[in-house]
Amino acid sequence: MDGSAGAISLQSVHVARGAAGNVLRGVDLDIAGGETVALVGRSGAGKSTLLKSINGLIVPDAGRVIVEGRDTREWNPYDLRRRIGYVLQEIGLFPHLSVAENVGVVPRLLGWEARRTVARVADVLALVGLPPETYANRRAWELSGGQRQRVGVARALAADPPILLMDEPFGALDPVTRAELHREFRRIQTAVRKTVVIVTHDMAEAFALATRIGVLDAGVIAQLDDPRTLARSRDPRVRPLLEPLLEARALLS
């Protein structure tokens, strides 16, 4: 069992009623520290349920989820979540707080000194490409969709957690902005080296970001491989997800 920073291990995880009522039926998944794993699958495959079992929003009915060597059942759930950055598709920026206050939420929960929080917020805003002097005091509704999602990423990174969970983070963005944020993500990931688990229904996004891709189907992992190997998959549960990618490539070549 891997107890090192950022390591995650799911061992025959069963969830009878997960996010949106979807189920997991025996998921095994080992993620090493610093890896970026994408979870792909159609709607209802159990991607979000799996993600939420990692930060204890969902506790498995059977099996275990081990984060940094400890079962999520043994973690204090609040400590666990404060050690895990979380980015939602809806972003969930608090409308009554400024950008800086949104980003500083977790440091404040952790009881950081005010000065340290301010400095750290400025750093992460700069890291996600939002100069703090321009954006720190803005409100969520004064930002574009892409800018909001950058704030969401900054908020997840603020307390420097070893793990980052992203639930369809770029799903609501236009393709140009999405491509831009993909580039930004790769730059940031090179800089900070987090364990990242990213849920997406878009295989292209998975290929663009992940070191390994897991395909979920009906509550089990159909295949888990590096992008190159996965691209040659013959698995009938994986092929349909690859189809659009291959068609696009054929059109372009």
- Tell me which residues touch other proteins (CB under 8 A): 55, 57, 78-82, 86, 88, 90-98, 101, 105-106, 109, 155, 165
Contact 3, 179 (CB under 8 A): no
- The phi, psi pair for 41, rounded to 5°, reads 165, 165
Name the residue nearer to other proteins (CB basis): 34 or 92.
92
The DSSP letter of residue 19 is G
How far apart CA 32 and CA 2 sit, in angstroms, is 8
Instruction: Give the CB-side neighbour count of residue 54, counting CA atoms within 13 A.
Output: 31
Residue 63: exposure state from Cβ atoms within 10 A (0-12, 13-18, ≥19): middle
51 or 230: CB nearest other proteins: 51
d(CA 12, CA 30) in angstroms, rounded, equals 11
Hey, which residues does 164 pair with through a beta bridge? Answer: 85, 196
- Give 90-147 as a DSSP string: T----TTSBHHHHHTHHHHHTT--HHHHHHHHHHHHHHTT--HHHHTT-BGGGS-HHH
Q: What is the DSSP letter of 166?
A: E
Q: Which is nearer to other proteins, 68 or 217 (CB)?
A: 68
CB of 48 to other proteins, least distance (A): 11
Residue 241 Cβ, how far from other proteins at the closest point, in Å?
26
C-beta closer to other proteins: residue 32 or 97:
97
In the complex with other proteins, which residue's Cβ is closer, 96 or 232? 96
Closest CA to 141 of 211, 94, 108, 103: 94
Give the separation between CA 240 and CA 1, rounded to whole angstroms: 34
Q: Minimum Å distance from CB 47 to other proteins? A: 15
What is the closest distance, in whole angstroms, from the C-beta atom of residue 199 to other proteins in the complex?
13
Shortest CB 91 distance to other proteins, Å: 8
The residue among 166 and 242 lying less far from other proteins, judged by its C-beta, is 166
- In the complex, the smallest distance separating the C-beta of residue 167 from other proteins, rounded to whole angstroms, is 9
Residue 138 CB, nearest approach to other proteins (Å): 13
Nearer to other proteins, 140 or 224 (CB): 140
